[in-house]
Chain A
């Protein structure tokens, strides 16, 4: 049976409910909270600061370093074992890459900017929520950026192209493809693209097109949350 109606009643191009806030972690130089459905991400920025170990310093510009972590109680099912694992390391890396494209650290050679992303609860789409929170936190910290980065997943669930898959959709029977996507909204440049599942060329084209409007909306929400702080 084809997937003609979404399990939670959303339209195919409709995201889950989004909440965003900045300045939520007082100790940090910049911070943000981004919640989409039941996936929640906090991000805190510390830096620019002295970079240790020195061997990793870059004398031409500052280094951006992101760290993605799921809290032990953040998964449906069993407890998530704390500490770094292969998945978290990979997500940390692709998150860093997705944000590097907008961040200008040429003013602070040999320094590091740390971005810590923590997920208290996840229902799919956690790396995208993390990227949204992280880019807001960087802007909140006053890091020089050309735009925010907005991220959302798109994909296909048993024949239907959808945006913002939740956990139940990712586990749906039939062919499922999950495509986390991050974009610089003002230019349309894609800074993160991964895919997991099975999808045709034309379906991919349709999925990417369908994501544009939701991404624009997310960028709006991010910018609004950043401005709220200075009211």
Chain B
């Protein structure tokens, strides 16, 4: 999210304020913007969620279809996570194939869900080697204002939990009629990204803050406080003690976010 150069004076203003532990929008360093989550907002999706966080708005939608399993996992269904950064949602995004930023967001969210075994993919198998459910979840920003990984991950979890299987008629899904059957979800990973700007560590960065971020670390945390995915980003290195500080912050803050779901 560094496509556009930022006004130098504004950048200095953010940095100066952060040195006194003040953020431009008045938040504390470990404070989130106000988050609301609505589910079942898209009629054509089998599961969906709309997350708003400050000025940021994003959608996640789940589509289910039948397909053949991968040959190395013949008795498991497939989960795919996609993200596109629509130029509608920010002047920083351009028309065209998914950017590296979009691919990273989708992959980091995907990893949190995949590595934790959130969805028991064996339960998505209908006939081993022949027919399994394919779960596609896509993230679609309406208005982007930073922190797409954390907000995307929450939207994805809310949409997955909202998902109902279509009825099967003669072995084919009838998308007009959803059953009561939910996805086999056993765990709920929540992701938290901490940005390092100068000596400050902040959560829930806005687009402006992301533009001047030195480094970031995303940590996916499960209910029991164990970690299931991480990703460091940004140009600057992080020290061991900074990593541990971020992980502690992630464990604390994801506990609060979990209550919103």
Which residues in A have some Cβ–Cβ distance to B below 8 Å?
24-28, 38, 40, 42-44, 46, 67, 69, 71-79, 82-83, 114, 116-118, 120-123
Q: Are A72 and B61 in contact (CB under 8 A)?
A: yes
Which chain B positions have C-beta within 8 A of A73? 42, 44-45, 48, 61-63, 136, 138, 140
Q: Are B44 and A118 interface neighbours, CB within 8 A? A: no
Tell me the bound Cα distance from A38 to B175 in angstroms.
15
Q: Are B42 and A120 in contact (CB under 8 A)?
A: yes
Bound complex: CA of A117 vs CA of B88, how far in Å?
7
Known interface pairs A71-B61, A73-B63; A121-B44 also in contact (CB < 8 Å): yes
- What are 5 A-to-B residue pairs whose CB atoms are below 8 Å? A46-B87, A73-B44, A73-B61, A73-B63, A118-B86
Contact at B42–A121, with CB atoms within 8 Å? yes
> Min CB distance, B100 to chain A, in Å?
16
Distance between Cα atoms of A123 and B140 in the complex (Å): 19
CA distance A116 to B175 in the complex (A): 28
How many B residues, CB 8 Å from partner?
32
> Which residues on B sit within 8 Å (CB–CB) of A27?
55, 89-91, 143-145
A42 neighbours in B (Cβ, 8 Å): 88, 142
**Residue in contact with B87 in the complex, picked from A67, A72, A75, A122, CB distance below 8 Å:** A67
B interface vs A, CB < 8 Å? Answer: 42-45, 48, 55, 57, 59, 61-63, 65, 82, 84, 86-91, 95, 97-98, 136, 138, 140, 142-145, 175-176
Q: B174's closest neighbor in chain A, by CB?
A: A77
7 smallest beta-carbon distances between A and B, as pairs = A73-B61, A116-B88, A79-B63, A73-B45, A72-B138, A38-B43, A44-B88
> Which listed residue, A38, A67, A72, touches B82 by the CB 8 Å rule?
A72
Residues of B within 8 A of A123 (CB): 43-44
Residues in chain A near residue B142, CB distance under 8 A: 24-25, 42, 118
Q: Are B88 and A28 in contact (CB under 8 A)?
A: yes
In the complex, are the beta carbons of B48 and A25 less than 8 A apart?
no
**Known A25-B57, A73-B63; further 8 A-B contacts with Cβ < 8 A:** A38-B43, A73-B44, A73-B61, A78-B63, A78-B65, A79-B63, A121-B44, A121-B45
**CB of A19 to closest CB in B, whole Å:** 13
Contact among B91, B140, B176 with A120 in the assembled complex (CB-CB below 8 Å): B140
Residues of A within 8 A of B95 (CB): 67
Of the candidates B63, B88, B144, the one whose C-beta lies within 8 Å of that of A118 is B88
Report the separation of the CA atoms of residues A38 and B90 in the bound assembly, to the nearest whole angstrom: 26
* Complex Cα spacing A69 to B97, Å: 13
Q: What residues of chain B lie closer than 8 Å to A67, measured between beta carbons? A: 87, 95
State whether B87 touches A120 (Cβ < 8 A): no
B214: min CB distance to chain A, Å: 24
CB pair A77–B175 under 8 Å, yes or no, is: yes
Distance A38 CA – B82 CA, assembled complex (angstroms): 23
Chain A residues lying within 8 Å of B176, measured Cβ to Cβ, are: 76
Q: Evaluate contact between A71 and B138: CB separation under 8 angstroms.
A: yes
Chain B hits for A40, CB < 8 A = 42
Residue of A whose beta carbon sits closest to that of B56: A26
Complex Cα spacing A78 to B90, Å: 28
